Chains A and B, each alone.
Chain A
């Protein structure tokens, strides 16, 4: 069964550094999302992406964040200058055309020191 994959599984970085989190959505899916989950809290929406552009973003997704689909398979989330409060699990999800169902990847745990 096809799955969303994410790399790395764990990223440790120093405050102020740039990080890029990578995702490979399920092939032929057209909608892509990033969510984050701070330890012990609920999953929060960051951004959705369709047709090579951002379709919606939350107030969390400020100028420090960006997303890109550099080729036909990868979907990346970049944090330009990490803060301590960016420490969280980041989940990528994808959805096929014509359905509401979102399939989540296993997540990347980001730790900012």
Chain B
């Protein structure tokens, strides 16, 4: 089955700096890769996603890149703000209606 690995487990950055979180997946059938932000005591909130027919997607300060050949995808947050502090999870799925397989999460701390 699918296995998703995520690095780093913790990341501390200064406000205004960029943050990059990386994930690798094992199943070449996976074609959908969302990123979720989880704040303390809350459920995962979708922040951006990418499908396998696209190499990069951007939404304001957030971008995701996908390298299908290497089976890895990354989340990029620019101009980080204190409110970006949270746990970020990557995930992978092989199709509509199918389960998400999550990475182990990255605790992002943005220091002001």
Contacts and interface: CB of A to CB of B under 8 A. Distances in A.
B45 interface: yes
A100 interface: yes
Contact of A105 (B43, B51, B95): B43
A104 B98 contact: no
A100 B51 contact: yes
Contacts of B102: 42-44
Size bracket of the B interface: 20 to 34
Interface stretch (A11-19, A72-80, A91-99): A91-99
A50 B91 CA distance: 21
Given A43-B44, A44-B102, A103-B46, A98 B96 contact: yes
B97 A50 contact: yes
Contacts of A42: 89, 102-105
B53 to A, nearest CB: 12
A48 B98 contact: yes
Contacts of A98: 96
A107 B99 contact: no
Given A101-B46, A104-B43, A45 B100 contact: yes
20 contacts: A4-B43, A31-B96, A31-B97, A42-B104, A43-B44, A45-B99, A45-B100, A48-B98, A48-B99, A50-B97, A55-B97, A56-B98, A56-B99, A91-B44, A100-B51, A101-B46, A102-B46, A104-B36, A105-B43, A106-B43
Interface of A: 4, 31, 33, 35, 41-45, 48, 50, 55-56, 58, 91, 95, 98-107
